[in-house]
């Protein structure tokens, strides 16, 4: 036994990994047989999927694809099982539709709240929106999974929020860090002390300076990384020590524009396989960048950690009036045997856009730069200067397209 939300958090890492991998094949068979989308996507799959290597051979489904998929086959693009039950339907900006079933802790957020100090019997002022998008419900379910009573306050209405805080004195806050700062500042103007002793924040970055402001006000703050499609992906247990990966999901960090896993510590796109039979997601690319960290958390939770949100993987950029996508550069890289990495630099020279492709070989350059440039023009529909660089010299920071053009004045 261990003193966490549940015993899964202190499992031996090898036991956890074996348990997750043991679920893969059966879950993929379920998705292929019940989800029209995955039935078509994985129609050619043969042989078991029982390892990370086998999983990495499957195609990626990108969050950015959902808009088109849902337009073709609404409301969920055929990803949800036929005959499955959906109890709430949300629509996030995009628009992208998301389902929810209202089972206990369906979004798996309870452990994030527990790590942030929430305990049974506490009152929680939930200031994330309950309107159309699922954010408010995601946090609501996690707080209730910890035995808390939730005040569904939503965002805005600062004066009313302060009145609620003064009269009900909730111990916990959940919502964005920026709105907590608004409440803190307005309370200070009125000579009011907020009742919060701890908070779980999400949806925005939490700079160290802002964390210190909250700490000075007596509020211990932790972060959660969750999406409307998956629910909890990772959560903070110790300040500034990364985010512990959630149990019950498989997380991969892959090269943006491809499904190829990167080395540990290298920045890449977060890809998740979620064993949710109400809404199966296999190798779902979130569009977020992160990187794995070394070793487990000092808190005693044994799962791996990521560095948190490090930017967007979709670095699509317009050059000379044409869009250049990371996936196009990945196609170019894959077409040149012996090219290990590629990075596009976009610069402005004499009021004109300049595209330079930095290509990193595995050893010696396999093709002349001119031949790569010809291939690039065919794939990108743009002219580009091509430079081979030394093996191992390109940064491992997840950036595929680096836009160096000055911002418009």
> Domain with 349 in it: what CATH number?
3.30.300.30
Check if the beta carbon of residue 325 is closer than 8 Å to that of residue 342: no
CATH number of residue 240's parent domain: 3.40.50.12780
Distance of CA 279 to the CA centre of its chain: 17
Query: Residue 203 and residue 224: Cα distance in Å, rounded?
Result: 8
Q: What pLDDT is recorded for position 100?
A: 95
Q: How many CA atoms lie within 13 A of 76 on its CB side?
A: 25
Query: Residue 409 and residue 403: Cα distance in Å, rounded?
Result: 16
| Least confident stretch, 159-163, 193-197, 313-317, 395-399 | 313-317
Q: What pLDDT is recorded for position 408?
A: 56
* Residue 92 burial (C-beta neighbours within 10 Å; 0-12, 13-18, 19+): middle
Handedness of CA 309, 54, 59, 322 (dihedral sign): positive
Q: What pLDDT is recorded for position 74?
A: 84
Is 139 within a domain? yes
Which band of pLDDT confidence, cut at 50, 70 and 90, is reported for residue 102? Answer: confident
Q: Do 291 and 351 have their domain in common?
A: no
Handedness of CA 264, 304, 28, 258 (dihedral sign): negative
Is 312 within a domain? no
Question: What percentage of the chain reaches a pLDDT higher than 90?
Answer: 78
Where is the domain boundary, 257, 281, 306? 306
- Helix, strand, coil: what percent of the chain each, to 5? 30, 25, 45
Check if the beta carbon of residue 87 is closer than 8 Å to that of residue 74: no
Mean pLDDT of 256-273: 91
Q: Do 248 and 344 have their domain in common?
A: no
Is 311 within a domain? no
Q: Do 99 and 179 have their domain in common?
A: yes
Domain count, the chain: 2
H/E stretch holding 123 reads strand 123-126
β-strand partners of 126: 152, 174
Model pLDDT for residues 190-238, shown as the tens digit of each residue: 999 999 999 999 988 888 999 999 999 999 999 999 999 999 999 999 9
Q: How many CA atoms lie within 13 A of 85 on its CB side?
A: 4
Query: Residue 373 and residue 382: Cα distance in Å, rounded?
Result: 10
- pLDDT over 50 at 268, yes or no: yes
- pLDDT over 60 at 110, yes or no: yes
Q: How many CA atoms lie within 13 A of 280 on its CB side?
A: 25
Q: Do 300 and 380 have their domain in common?
A: no
Backbone angles phi, psi at 40, to 5 degrees: -80, -45
Q: Do 221 and 366 have their domain in common?
A: no
Model pLDDT for residues 111-124, shown as the tens digit of each residue: 999 999 999 999 99
Is the pLDDT higher at 134 or at 325? 134
Query: Residue 324 and residue 326: Cα distance in Å, rounded?
Result: 7
Mean pLDDT score across all residues of the chain: 93
Q: What pLDDT is recorded for position 2?
A: 55
Q: Do 156 and 210 have their domain in common?
A: yes
Q: What pLDDT is recorded for position 406?
A: 82
Tokens of 378: 């065919």
Q: Do 278 and 300 have their domain in common?
A: yes
Q: How many CA atoms lie within 13 A of 315 on its CB side?
A: 26
Residue 352's domain comprises 317-403
Backbone angles phi, psi at 403, to 5 degrees: -90, 105
State the residue for tokens 């979130």: 286
Q: Do 71 and 117 have their domain in common?
A: yes
Is 1 within a domain? no
Q: What pLDDT is recorded for position 165?
A: 98
Where is the domain boundary, 284, 306, 328? 306
Strands 281-290 and 305-306: unpaired
β-strand partners of 271: 252, 285
Where is the domain boundary, 272, 306, 340? 306
Mean pLDDT of 346-360: 88
Q: Do 370 and 301 have their domain in common?
A: no
Tokens of 314: 């979709």
State the virtual CA torsion across 266, 270, 274, 280 in degrees, nearest 10. -140
Is 33 within a domain? yes
Secondary structure E strands in 1-114: 61-62, 88-92, 96-100
Which band of pLDDT confidence, cut at 50, 70 and 90, is reported for residue 409? Answer: very low
Q: Do 189 and 283 have their domain in common?
A: yes
Query: Residue 159 and residue 143: Cα distance in Å, rounded?
Result: 24
Q: Do 296 and 321 have their domain in common?
A: no
Which band of pLDDT confidence, cut at 50, 70 and 90, is reported for residue 13? Answer: very high
Q: Do 59 and 144 have their domain in common?
A: yes
Mean pLDDT of 266-287: 95
Which band of pLDDT confidence, cut at 50, 70 and 90, is reported for residue 1? Answer: very low
Is 2 within a domain? no
Question: What percentage of the chain reaches a pLDDT higher than 70?
Answer: 98
């Amino acid at each position: 036994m261990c003193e966490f939300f549940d015993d899964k958090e202190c499992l031996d890492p090898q036991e956890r990994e074996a348990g997750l991998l043991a679920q893969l094949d059966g879950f993929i068979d379920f998705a292929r047989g019940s989800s029209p989308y995955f039935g078509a996507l994985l129609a050619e799959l043969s042989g078991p999927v029982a390892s990370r290597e086998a999983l990495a051979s499957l195609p990626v489904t990108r969050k950015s694809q959902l808009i088109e998929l849902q337009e073709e086959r609404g409301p969920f693009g055929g990803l949800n099982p036929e005959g499955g039950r959906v109890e709430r339907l949300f629509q996030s900006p995009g628009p992208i539709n998301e389902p929810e079933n209202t089972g206990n802790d369906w979004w798996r957020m309870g452990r994030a709240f527990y790590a942030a100090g929430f305990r049974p019997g506490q009152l929680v002022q939930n200031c994330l929106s309950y309107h159309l998008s699922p954010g408010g419900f995601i946090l609501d379910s996690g707080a209730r999974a910890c035995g808390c009573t939730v005040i569904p306050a939503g965002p805005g209405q600062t004066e009313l929020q302060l009145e609620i805080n003064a009269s009900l004195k909730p111990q916990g806050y959940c919502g964005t860090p920026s709105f907590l700062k608004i409440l803190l500042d307005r309370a200070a103007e009125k000579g009011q002390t907020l009742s919060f002793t701890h908070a779980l924040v999400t949806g925005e970055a939490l700079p160290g300076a802002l964390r210190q402001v909250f700490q000075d006000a007596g509020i211990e703050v932790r972060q959660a990384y969750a999406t409307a499609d998956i629910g909890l992906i990772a959560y903070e247990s110790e300040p500034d020590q990364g985010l512990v990966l959630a149990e019950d999901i498989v997380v991969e960090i892959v090269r943006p524009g491809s499904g190829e896993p990167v080395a540990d510590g290298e920045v890449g796109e977060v890809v998740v396989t979620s064993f949710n039979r109400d809404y199966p997601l296999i190798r779902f690319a979130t569009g977020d960048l992160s990187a794995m960290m070394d070793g487990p958390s000092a808190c005693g939770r044994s799962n791996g950690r990521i560095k948190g949100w490090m930017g967007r993987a979709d670095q699509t950029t317009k050059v000379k009036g044409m869009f250049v996508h990371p996936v196009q550069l990945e196609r170019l890289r894959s077409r040149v045997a012996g090219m290990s990495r590629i990075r596009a630099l976009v610069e402005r020279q004499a009021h004109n856009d300049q595209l330079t492709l930095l290509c990193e070989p595995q050893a010696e350059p396999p093709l002349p730069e001119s031949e790569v440039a010809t291939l690039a023009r065919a794939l990108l529909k743009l002219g580009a200067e091509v430079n081979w660089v030394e093996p191992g010299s390109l940064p491992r920071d997840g950036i595929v397209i680096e836009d160096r053009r000055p911002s418009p004045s």
